[in-house]
Amino acid sequence: MPLPRWFAERVEPTAPDAELRVSTIELFFDLVFVFTITQLTSLLVDDFTRQDGEGFTGQGTVQAVLIFGLLWWMYSGYAWLTNTVPPEHAARRVLILGGMAGFLIMALAIPRAFSGSGVAFAVGYLVIVLVHGGLYLQATAAIARVVPFNLTATALVFAAAFVDSPWNYALWTAALVLIWLSPIFIGQKGFPLHPAHIVERHGLLVIIVLGESIVAIGIGATDGHPGAALIVAALLGLALTASLWWVYFARDESGPEHALMRADVVQRTRLILGAYFYAHIPILLGIVATAAGIHKAVGHGHLDLGPAVALAGGTALFLLGDLWFRRVLGPTRTAVRVAAVLLAAATVPIGLWSSAAHLGVLVVLLIAMICVENVLQRQAATA
């Protein structure tokens, strides 16, 4: 039986100097992916209210990290897929929608992925792996080096659904280590990428995930009584989210694209892997943790230890990931950023005293860091 014409045709990579914009179906796809991020936030929030005897300390955080690692690998795979195989044909769009369905199944399974919904999560993961591999074959046979790793990771998650703790955590960890280290064995040859599309796609994703912090403000506000204190905390939560946006986007938005364009094809793929896969892990996890902290900070006079750590640690993790991201793409100043990371992490005691003060101190810290970096940048340009 012959393959459909749209599937059998060879897809040539888009020239680096040609325009390739993020399509609306990719944004639609990202909205479903961000729903999974929302589910991870719920795991972190559950850690804050966990009672003795309900699992081990930090259980939700460990689960969130393991789940995010697997999700992020395949999300990045789809970002590379649509960079190489633009979803122009209706049939391709239908298959992308099938991948979205896989992500939705996993999102619904996340709250109990380690205690009853592991099979559903693995089924969703298998769907997105098969759709991804099938579509990518239209552009390059190099994807055949990736698919065995993805399928093996899926099998490990399936197996984890049938064993108890701690063996299920061991299998999840094995799956995560396998795919994160797979680029060492796969190599970067055979995966030409269009820089502008990668930069735009991940930038839009960061904006959507930052929107989770705004949602956290609204959810947190329902736990308290409307009044001046709640309004102040909500505005500070918005200011903190805006500061994170400023840190990521306000410094030379075209810089990452230019850095990638200067590299050859193989080096460009290596840079994208380092900057937009590995470095974005702490960026996104930092936003998730910060959103969980904001959720508890709005509507409460002070924070317990867990939410205070999430708020301070999430901000510090975001700053560290952003520094890593910029260091991969080129030289950048680190002293000011490292100092800000350490100071943000040290704000935990403030949250135990006052949630509004904790938010306010983090906002002031980020604004001060941004101002100092801008001054240093102008001085360097003048010199």
- Give yes or no for a contact between 333 and 376, defined as CB atoms under 8 angstroms apart: yes
Query: Mean pLDDT across the stretch 18-35?
Result: 85
What percentage of residues in the chain have a pLDDT greater than 70?
88
**Amino acid 339: pLDDT:** 94
Q: Does residue 316 have a pLDDT over 90?
A: yes
Q: Does residue 311 have a pLDDT over 80?
A: yes
Tell me the one-letter amino acid at 328: V
Report pLDDT digits (tens) over 140-157: 777 888 999 999 999 999
Report pLDDT digits (tens) over 164-209: 888 999 999 999 999 988 888 887 676 778 888 899 999 999 998 8
CA–CA gap between residue 380 and residue 383 (Å, rounded): 5
- Give yes or no for a contact between 36 and 53, defined as CB atoms under 8 angstroms apart: no
**Amino acid 343: pLDDT:** 96
Locate all alpha helices (DSSP H) within the chain, ordered by sequence.
5-8, 24-49, 59-84, 90-109, 118-136, 147-160, 167-186, 195-221, 228-249, 255-261, 265-272, 280-297, 305-329, 335-345, 348-353, 355-382
Q: How far apart are the first and last CA of the chain?
A: 68
Within 10 angstroms of residue 3's Cβ, the number of other Cβ atoms is 8
- Give yes or no for a contact between 9 and 185, defined as CB atoms under 8 angstroms apart: no
**Amino acid 17: pLDDT:** 58
- Confidence band, pLDDT 50/70/90 cuts, at residue 303: confident
**Amino acid 340: pLDDT:** 94
Query: Mean pLDDT across the stretch 257-280?
Result: 87
What percentage of residues in the chain have a pLDDT greater than 90?
40
Query: Mean pLDDT across the stretch 54-80?
Result: 86
Report pLDDT digits (tens) over 324-381: 999 998 877 788 889 999 999 999 999 998 888 999 999 999 999 999 988 888 887 7
Q: Does residue 46 have a pLDDT over 80?
A: no
Which two structure tokens, joined as six digits, stand for 76?
A: 């990045």
Q: Does residue 23 have a pLDDT over 90?
A: no
Tell me the one-letter amino acid at 261: M
Q: Does residue 213 have a pLDDT over 80?
A: no
**Amino acid 362: pLDDT:** 96
Which two structure tokens, joined as six digits, stand for 213?
A: 């912090």
Distances (CA, A) of 295 to 37, 46, 91, 206, 313: 14, 12, 41, 19, 15
The torsion of the CA quartet 61, 354, 222, 365, rounded to 10 degrees, works out to: -70
Report pLDDT digits (tens) over 49-60: 666 556 666 788
| Average pLDDT over all residues of the chain | 85
Tokens 């049938």: give the residue.
162
Q: Does residue 212 have a pLDDT over 90?
A: no
**Amino acid 8: pLDDT:** 53
